[in-house]
Structures are given as C-alpha cells and as structure tokens.
Amino acid sequence: MFDLMLNWTVNANQMLISLMVGVVILILLVTRTKLPTFVGIIVAALLIAVGGGVPGVEIPNIIADGFGGVLGSIGIIIGFGIIMGRIFEVSGAAEQMARTFLKLFGKGREQLALTLTGFIVSIPIFCDSAFVILFPITKAISQKTRKNLMVLAGALAMGLVITHSVVPPTPGPLFAASEFGVPLGTMILWGLIMAIPMTIAGIVYINWVGRNMNFSVDDEGNVVRLEVANKEFMDFDINEEPSQKLPHPLLAFAPILVPIILIVLQQVLTTAFDDSLPNWLFQTIGFLGSPIPAVAIGVIIAIYGLGYDMERKEALDHMEEGVKSAGMILLVTGAGGALGNVIDVTGVGDTIAENIANWGIPAILVPILISTIVRFIQGSGTVSIITASVIAAPIIGPLGLNPIFGALGAMVGSVFFGYFNDSYFHVVNRTIGITAPKEQLKFWSGATTAAWAAGVVTLVVLNALFGNVFTV
C-alpha cells in the first residue's frame, strides 16, 4: 500500500472535493437505486478514486487490497461464526445458553447482561469477531422471550464497540495511552468512566429506534420482521422441560468460551511475560491464541461436541445452510474495506487532520475533531485514534490540555457515525438481518453518533472539572 503512495501524489483539494461528492453519491446509490449495497460501495470507491486524481492503473489494486485486507482479518471468523451458530441452533446449545443467561441475570435484565458481556469480551477481542461469536446467545434469548432481536443485539454490539474504542489494551486505546504518555492503569480507569455514559446513550437510542424496527426469532430459528412490536413478552419458564434434550451448559458454552480464553491467555502471557517465556511456549500460545486458530478450535468443539449424535450428512447439511447466508455479509464487509483503503492511501484524512490542529479551537476539541473526521472519512476507529494521537499529542502541551483527556478525546471521536466504510457496521446490521440501507443508517449510524455525542459532552465536562487536578 505504502509503495503505491510513493509513486504518485494527489492534490489534497481535488481529493477532498471528490470525497465529498463520492459520499453523497454513495448514500444515493444505496438508498435510492436498485443496486445492492455491495455494488454501490464499490462504484462509489471507484468514483472517489478517479475524481481524486488517482492513476487509473492503480485503482483496481487499491480496491483489491482493501477488500482482501478486511476479509483476510475477519472473513474467516465470520464464516466460522456462522457455521458455529447453525450447530448451536440445531443441537439445542443456543437454547441452553439462553436458559443459563436468564437464570444468571434474571428476567427483564437480558439487555444489561448482553451489554456487560460485550464490555468484558471486547477488551481482548476485536468487536467484529466477538459479535459474530456471541450473536447465537442473543438470538437464543430473543427466541425464548420474543424480545426485539435488534434491541438485544444492539446492546451487545454497543457494549463491544465502546470498550473496544475507549478501554486499553485494545490496539487504538493502547496506542493513544502510549502516544500521550498516560500510564496504562490510569487510561483503563478513565476509559471505563467514559464508557458508561457512552454506552447508556447508545442503548437508549437503540431502544427508541426499536419501537418501529422489530425483529424476532421464530420457533425454527429464523429471523423475521414484525410489523407491530411485541407488546407482551413470552413468560418463559426456565425450569420448564425443553422440547429436546439439551447439552450440558459447559458443553454449550465451550465453543464460545474456549476461543475467548485462548485469546485472553495469549494477550496476558505474551504481554506480561514476553521476555521470560520459553520460545516454544511463546510460539504455541501465540498461535493458539490468534483469532483464526482460536475460533477454529471453537468450531471443532461445536461440531464434535454438540453434533456428536448427528449423522455426517445431517451435520454437513446444517452447516451448508448456514454458510449460504454468509455470502452477502462477506461481500459487503469487504466492499467497506475497499472504500476505506481508497481514502486511506490518498492521505486526505491526514491533510484535514493537520489543518484542524491549526484552527485555534479549544484544546479539548482538537483530538476529538481530528479523530471524528478521520473516522467519518476512513471508517476505521483504530486508524482515527492513531491519527488523532500522532497529530494532537505533540501540541497539547503548549495548549495546556491534560494528556489524559487528550487521549480520551482521540478515543471518543473514533465512535462517530459508523456507516458504509466501517466493517463493523455491516457485520452488525447484516447479522441481525437489517438489510435496508436507510434502516441500517438509522439503527447503527444513529446509535454510534448518540454514543459519540454523550462522550463529547462527558469529556468536556470532565476536562473542565478535573483537567487541572489529575496529572500523569
């Protein structure tokens, strides 16, 4: 990618105009025409690149690199997750997980339970992968209670994305803490403080939208759209005998828990004991704790642990049914990566960010604005945090901004308005079953913007109250 950037230069103003026009065209293509979202995103990426002056011979490679880069990191995980989810459904494991969750947290607290689950799981695991892995639990709870799947899954997705964005040791927050010189423990504490109002705001918005966007799971496990919201939820008796023999709770959760434990173990051991681990152990843990091998182990546990009494043909048929639904999710997710890469390699985000730093605005808004605009332009929360940190960290000292709140500003901005160039936007919407672009924007783009707005307000208030009190 970087070699390409050395071979040509792009006029910043021309690229900015092309980007603005391209975003408008993209929204029109996916909301007003018959083109599938996948095609609309790729067409918009082509138009932005051509209009921005990128040499035509380079454009296909840039798009292919972006498409492949995203699918290379999460495409396999999505495929594994869908196979695993299908096994959960037909084996009764999903029902067992729902029963266990409801027993643990109690009726009426399903949304809180899923949010807290997302909060914890997303600290060591990328939210895209975590959402795919945990979605079967959400689906099973929705099926048993008949509560709106979009509201329940939205709570999980929000819990995942907020901690991924503002709590180390996920890559973006970890980089921000290092760049601003904030101790990791301090950054974790303040990140958790910021995460609470942001998550609450996002979930309040999701509940509001959920009054008119109603998804449920029928008795066969299919996601269905309801015209009228369920006013009365099923009085599900968790002590009632199930309609089929269910696996033991430990076996039901094992395909999810084992990958999570392996990934967490890899992060903890290789971070805390990197220099003291024998090389063979370091290599083994590094391999097994990487997302693809870890989730592959989970899939194998699901197939042979949960599907042990299925005939070979029956098991394969069930898994193939699940895989058929993965095609459009993978295509749209990859297209979002292609669009993001077109914008990334042109450097237009960096140009805008550098100009913002020279505007003379209040110091606390500098990292927020840089991160927010890069997030909107490029789509990656991690990239927006890194960009804002690199540009803002050297200038906040003369501006009198506390490094703690400078780092938090870079993180808060990274949550803003997730839309078509963000892979998580597609993973969440498509997995739930929201396919209409207008509704996708209304649901997830609106929810992330609500969380961002709450984060901005909270950060400005905290900086005013404590900016001169706490030091690093």
On the question of pLDDT at 439 being above 70, the answer is yes
Between 390 and 215, whose confidence is greater?
215
Q: What is the 3-state secondary structure (H, E, C) of the chain?
A: CHHHHHHCCCCHHHHHHHHHHHHHHHHHHHHHCCCCHHHHHHHHHHHHHHHCCCCCCCHHHHHHHHHHHHHHHHHHHHHHHHHHHHHHHHHCHHHHHHHHHHHHHCCCCHHHHHHHHHHHHCCCCCHHHHHHHHHHHHHHHHHHHCCCHHHHHHHHHHHHHHHHHHCCCCHHHHHHHHHHCCCHHHHHHHHHHHHHHHHHHHHHHHHHHCCCCEEEECCCCCEEEECCCCCCCCCCCCCCCCCCCCCCHHHHHHHHHHHHHHHHHHHHHHHHCCCCCCHHHHHHHHHHCCHHHHHHHHHHHHHHHHCCCCCHHHHHHHHHHHHHCHHHHHHHHHHHHHHHHHHHHHCHHHHHHHHHHCCCCCCCHHHHHHHHHHHHHHCCHHHHHHHHHHHHCCCHHHHCCCHHHHHHHHHHHCCCCCCCCCHHHHHHHHHHCCCCHHHHHHHHHHHHHHHHHHHHHHHHHHHHHHCCCCCC
Q: How far separated are the first and last CA of the chain, in Å rounded?
A: 36
For residue 331, being part of any structural domain is answered with no
Q: Is residue 57 part of a domain?
A: yes
For the cut 90, the answer to whether the pLDDT of residue 88 exceeds it is no
For the cut 70, the answer to whether the pLDDT of residue 11 exceeds it is no
> Hunting for tokens 């097994």 — which residue is that?
288
pTM of this prediction exceeds 0.85: no
With beta carbons less than 8 A apart as the criterion, state whether 343 and 349 touch: yes
What tens digit of pLDDT does each residue of 406-432 get?
999 999 999 999 988 888 999 999 999
**Does 19 reside within a domain?**
yes
pLDDT tens-digit readout, 169-183: 677 887 888 888 888
Please tell me which residue, 464 or 383, carries the higher pLDDT value: 464
How far is CA 141 from its chain centroid?
A: 21
- Residue 10 within any structural domain of the chain: yes
The residue with greater pLDDT, 180 or 240, is 180
Average pLDDT over residues 273-293: 79
Of 232 and 138, the structure prediction assigns the larger pLDDT to 138
Asked if residue 15 is part of any domain, the answer here is yes
Domain total of the chain: 1
The pLDDT of residue 150 is 95
How many other CB atoms are found less than 10 A from the CB of residue 423? 26
Percent of the chain with pLDDT over 70: 86
Rounded-to-integer distance, Cα 193 and Cα 187, Å: 10
Q: 18 in a domain, yes or no?
A: yes
Q: Is residue 62 part of a domain?
A: yes
The number of C-alpha atoms within 13 Å of 455 and in the hemisphere containing its C-beta is: 36
| Residue 219 falls inside a structural domain | no
Q: CA-CA distance, 305 to 322, in Å (whole number)?
A: 18
Asked if omega into 169 is within 30° of 0 (cis), the reply is yes
Residue range 252-266, pLDDT digits in tens: 888 878 887 887 788
Give the pLDDT confidence of 180-198 residue by residue, as tens digits: 888 877 888 899 899 999 9
Mean pLDDT of the region 427-453? 94
Domain extent at residue 14 = 2-66
User: Which is more confidently placed, 103 or 366?
Assistant: 366
117-165 confidence digits (pLDDT tens): 888 777 656 788 778 878 888 888 888 888 899 999 999 999 999 988 9
